[in-house]
Amino acid sequence: MTKPLLIAGPCAVESERQLLTTAGQLHQAVQRLGLALDFFRAGVWKPRSNPASFKGLGHEALPWLADLQRSFGFRVCTEVMTTAQVEACEKAGITALWIGARTSVNPTDVQKIADAVKGKPFTIMVKNPLVPDLKLWQGNLERFLMADVGQVIAVHRGFADGNENIYRNAPCWEIPIDLKVLYPNLPIVCDPSHLCGHVQWIPQIAQLALNYGFNGLMLECHCNPAEALSDTDQQLTPAEWENLIRNLSFKINASNADLIKQRALLEHVDTQLSALLARRMEIVDEIARIKKENNLPVVQPQQWQQVKERYLKAGQDPAYREFLARFLELLHQSSIQRQQ
């Protein structure tokens, strides 16, 4: 792949000191890597679910971001939700903005922002909407493409699809992959931080995104994640970020697009299955507790027989029924062992 687009920085600006420390450490990391940071990210206005949560420092932080651009030479990007915020950023010299997943569900708000940046040399990053709706994301991208801004970048941060998943947000890889087919020249980056919700999953998701042909990564990076005022579990330290980037493979062989998509779909199903099985284990533990409290036997053969027959009706194909029967038996055996 050509040089990956690298976007990194804290979820939110919390203080001038936190900003400078994080930026300074990231600056050193990119120099050691021999790469360039395309954008330093830092949220100034945070859309929070809970009104009592940290909402960002707002206008106060804009001059600090402008100073960073001068002292470290990388462009800074921040999230905007309103046209007043766009104007404030423009005045402060911040010309890279992202549209968050919550704003991205509302085409009316997105259009207002698109009108505010019309014909101007802004870089606009459009995150996917919270809901898994390709057309909504595509429509938002179109608004900025039609507004003729300097550059448009799509950001995949996963979706709230209502299903059990090990990640904070479901990848639904088929959506960004379909977007890539529709807009082969539009850069699309993955945001593994918001997708995963926890640093433990970030390396695997980041590598998958590169394998699927994404053009780069937006990652949350904080000098002291444990003390962060938002998204504590998903922020990497600059050292962890450096290590991650060093270990990723950016040399991806272009391969069959249909195969890439089917692999992505399988990955999606497998992560859901894995989360469902973990959930099943929790329920089994709860059942074991209730049985113990009521002096009931662990194994209730008749009941299992009925359950199994119901499940097996789902399989029409004999080979699949055979697989399902073996799989259910394994599930049953392991839950008995667990209960004992």
Contact residues: Mn ion, CB under 5 A: 11, 231
C-beta of 228 vs 260, nearer to Mn ion:
228
Residue 205 to residue 167: CA distance in whole angstroms: 10
Residue 319 has which token pair? 């080979």
Q: Which residue is at the shortest CB distance from Mn ion?
A: 11
CB 204 within 8 A of CB 247: no
CB 143 within 8 A of CB 115: no
Residue 127 binding partner per list Mn ion, ligand PEP, none, with a CB distance cut-off of 5 to 8 Å that depends on partner kind: ligand PEP
**Minimum gap (Å) between residue 231 Cβ and Mn ion:** 4
Residue 156, SS3 per DSSP: strand
C-beta of 129 vs 238, nearer to ligand PEP:
129
Q: Which residue is listed with tokens 């101007």?
A: 120
C-beta of 220 vs 242, nearer to Mn ion:
220
C-beta of 177 vs 221, nearer to Mn ion:
221
C-beta of 126 vs 210, nearer to ligand PEP:
126
Residue 188 pairs in a beta bridge with 154
**Minimum gap (Å) between residue 301 Cβ and ligand PEP:** 48
Residue 277 to residue 218: CA distance in whole angstroms: 30
**Minimum gap (Å) between residue 46 Cβ and Mn ion:** 8
Residue 187 has which token pair? 């850069």
Residue 28 to residue 242: CA distance in whole angstroms: 10
CB 176 within 8 A of CB 128: yes
**Minimum gap (Å) between residue 191 Cβ and ligand PEP:** 6
Q: How far apart are the first and last CA of the chain?
A: 53
Binding-site ranges for ligand PEP (CB under 6 A)? 11, 43, 79, 100-102, 127, 157, 194
**Minimum gap (Å) between residue 42 Cβ and ligand PEP:** 9
Residue 141 binding partner per list Mn ion, ligand PEP, none, with a CB distance cut-off of 5 to 8 Å that depends on partner kind: none
Q: Which residue is at the shortest CB distance from ligand PEP?
A: 100
Residue 238 binding partner per list ligand PEP, Mn ion, none, with a CB distance cut-off of 5 to 8 Å that depends on partner kind: none
**Among 20, 38, 93, which residue's Cα sits nearest to residue 62?**
93
